[in-house]
């Protein structure tokens, strides 16, 4: 039978790399990172903390959304803020469920403790945090241990399935992971950003768990990027960019994990994605700057916590129109209380009634 997958190659798992072919994307990456850090130096602690809080929250939310899991932003943000010792300014302290707490724990451990060795026990802990009940949807899975069954990535209707990738036999997984973890922790001359790209590809190719491989694989990539950045502070989100480019992400992984896959193509694409994530963070920094300027301009105006929370939502990009009903629902207050909050901000010149008309009155922010 013809060989189909990367782990069947004669050079697996060494996968020789010619870093000369990657000089341009590596140079662009470091230039972009330097520019981002240069901009950060011009801002105070409050704005740096806001960008950090937003980037880590985006990473957690996006990594889960890639897998079809949708998290409540306020819960993630509050949980991240508590763990990083930051103040989640103006955001409701949403109560997080066990899954949300688990994915936050993984993300914080990956970046804050990036110098610590990645061991099988550490990965088992991450896996157990992802599946605290021992179930994935309606399926009981092996949790906190490597898989015991076959895994294939398949799409299409029943009877017309397409197999995108078939992972190694489960009997091979312990040896594959032992070699992978040893390689991960062995110092080499390889560029650390290149190693981050390879680490994600190798982990996804082994697919060691029954479920959660994508989320754990992206956490490993984030850990390796923290090592490459020499910083536990993450001011950009790789997963947010991967979510934005989800189709290309899956396509490039599928090509690279094939027997004839071009490893350099995968690394160049991954590095480009990191660059685009950094560029997106530069844009977010400008938004954070504008947000800080807004609140500085209204600092003399007395506002309650509900009003500050809703103004934050409006500045961060509120979806749809702001109505009294939405205010009451989001702030968990009565319709009358919401109306009083809104009328108060209108009198103070912070909000105005929309001129669009329609069945429900809506309100807009006065910048």
3-state secondary structure (DSSP) of residue 82: helix
Mean pLDDT confidence for 73-90 = 83
Residues 330 and 286 in one domain: no
Residues 13 and 142 in one domain: yes
Domain boundary, last residue among 268, 290, 312: 290
The confidence score (pLDDT) of residue 367 equals 67
| 296 in a structural domain | no
Residues 188 and 245 in one domain: yes
Residues 272 and 320 in one domain: no
CA 141 to centroid of chain Cα atoms: 24
Contact 227, 114 (CB under 8 A): yes
Domain boundary, last residue among 290, 322, 348: 290
Domain boundary, last residue among 290, 320, 340: 290
Residues 241 and 143 in one domain: yes
Distance CA 165, CA 68 (A): 19
Residues 262 and 311 in one domain: no
Residues 44 and 175 in one domain: yes
Tally of domains in the chain: 2
Compute φ and ψ for 366, nearest 5 degrees: -95, 115
Q: Give every CB contact of residue 302 below 8 A, 6+ residues apart in sequence.
A: none
Distances from the Cα of 352 to the Cα of 28, 216, 291, 355, 367, angstroms = 45, 46, 18, 9, 11
| 28 in a structural domain | yes
Mind listing the pLDDT tens digit for each residue in 290-323?
887 888 888 899 999 999 989 988 887 677 889 9
Structure tokens at 2: 């013809």
CA 242 to centroid of chain Cα atoms: 8
Among 34-38, 218-222, 263-267, 314-318, which stretch is predicted with the lowest mean pLDDT?
314-318
Report, in angstroms and rounded to the nearest whole number, the Rg of the chain calculated over CA atoms: 23
Is the predicted pLDDT of residue 88 greater than 80, yes or no? Answer: no
E strand intervals along 248-298:
none
| 104 in a structural domain | yes
More confident residue, 199 or 356: 199
| 16 in a structural domain | yes
Contact 206, 217 (CB under 8 A): no
Residues 346 and 247 in one domain: no
Residues 66 and 126 in one domain: yes
Structure tokens at 213: 């491989």
Mind listing the pLDDT tens digit for each residue in 326-355?
999 989 999 999 999 999 999 999 999 987
Task: Indicate the DSSP class of residue 226.
Answer: H
Distances from the Cα of 148 to the Cα of 130, 132, 168, 298, angstroms = 18, 19, 11, 59
The reported pTM is 0.86
How far from each other are the two terminal CA atoms of the chain, in whole angstroms?
A: 66
With cut-offs at 50, 70 and 90, classify the pLDDT of residue 356. Answer: low
The boundaries of the domain holding residue 341 are: 301-365
Round the average pLDDT of the chain to a whole number and report it. Answer: 92
Distance CA 182, CA 13 (A): 12
Is the predicted pLDDT of residue 183 greater than 90, yes or no? Answer: yes
Distances from the Cα of 101 to the Cα of 132, 164, 232, angstroms = 10, 32, 19
With cut-offs at 50, 70 and 90, classify the pLDDT of residue 90. Answer: very low
Structure tokens at 63: 């990594």
Residues 11 and 118 in one domain: yes
| 1 in a structural domain | no
Residues 283 and 352 in one domain: no
Distance CA 112, CA 312 (A): 27
The confidence score (pLDDT) of residue 21 equals 95
3-state secondary structure (DSSP) of residue 334: coil
Cα atoms in the 13 Å half-sphere on the side-chain side of 94: 19
Mind listing the pLDDT tens digit for each residue in 119-131?
999 999 999 999 9
CATH of the domain at 146: 1.10.3290.10
Distance CA 25, CA 306 (A): 45
| 315 in a structural domain | yes
Distance CA 59, CA 47 (A): 18
Structure tokens at 177: 């992971």
Q: Is the peptide bond before 13 cis (omega within 30 degrees of 0)?
A: yes
| 114 in a structural domain | yes
| 121 in a structural domain | yes
Q: Report the percentage of the chain scoring pLDDT > 90.
A: 77
CATH of the domain at 329: 1.10.10.10
Among 160-164, 244-248, 256-260, which stretch is predicted with the lowest mean pLDDT?
160-164
For 163, the enclosing helix (H) or strand (E) is strand 162-166
Residues 201 and 256 in one domain: yes
Compute φ and ψ for 217, nearest 5 degrees: -60, -40
Q: How many CB atoms are located within 10 Å of the residue 37 CB?
A: 14
Contact 116, 101 (CB under 8 A): no
Mind listing the pLDDT tens digit for each residue in 238-250?
999 999 999 999 9
């Amino acid at each position: 039978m013809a060989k189909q997958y990367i782990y069947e190659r004669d050079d697996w798992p060494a996968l020789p790399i010619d870093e000369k072919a990657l000089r341009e994307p590596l140079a662009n990456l470091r230039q972009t990172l330097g520019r981002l850090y240069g901009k950060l130096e011009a801002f105070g602690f409050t704005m740096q903390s806001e960008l950090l809080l937003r980037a880590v929250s985006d990473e957690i939310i996006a990594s889960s959304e890639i897998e079809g899991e949708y998290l409540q932003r306020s819960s993630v943000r509050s949980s991240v803020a508590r763990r990083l010792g930051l103040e989640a300014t103006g955001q409701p302290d949403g109560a997080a469920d066990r899954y949300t707490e688990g994915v936050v724990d993984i993300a914080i451990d990956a970046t804050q403790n990036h110098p610590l060795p990645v061991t099988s026990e550490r990965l088992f802990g991450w896996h157990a945090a992802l599946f605290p009940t021992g179930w994935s949807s309606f399926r009981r899975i092996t949790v906190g241990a490597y898989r015991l069954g076959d895994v294939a990535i398949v799409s299409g209707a029943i009877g017309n399935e397409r197999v995108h990738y078939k992972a190694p036999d489960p009997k091979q997984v312990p040896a594959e992971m032992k070699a992978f973890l040893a390689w991960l922790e062995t110092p080499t001359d390889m560029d650390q950003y290149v190693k981050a790209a390879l680490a994600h590809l190798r982990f996804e190719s082994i697919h060691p768990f029954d479920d959660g491989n994508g989320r754990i694989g992206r956490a490993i990539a984030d850990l390796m990027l923290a090592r490459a950045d020499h910083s536990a502070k993450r001011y950009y989100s790789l997963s947010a960019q991967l979510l934005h480019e989800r189709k290309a992400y899956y396509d490039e992984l599928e090509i690279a994990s094939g027997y004839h896959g071009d490893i350099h193509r995968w690394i160049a694409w991954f590095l480009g994605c990191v660059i685009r994530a950094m560029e997106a963070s530069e844009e977010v920094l400008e938004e954070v700057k504008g947000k800080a300027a807004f609140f500085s301009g209204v600092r003399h105006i007395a506002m309650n916590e509900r009003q500050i929370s809703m103004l934050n939502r409006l500045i961060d990009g509120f979806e749809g129109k702001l109505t009294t009903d939405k205010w009451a629902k989001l702030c968990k207050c009565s319709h009358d209380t919401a109306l009083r909050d809104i009328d108060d901000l209108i009198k103070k010149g912070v909000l105005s009634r929309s001129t669009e008309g329609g069945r429900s009155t809506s309100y807009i922010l006065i910048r």
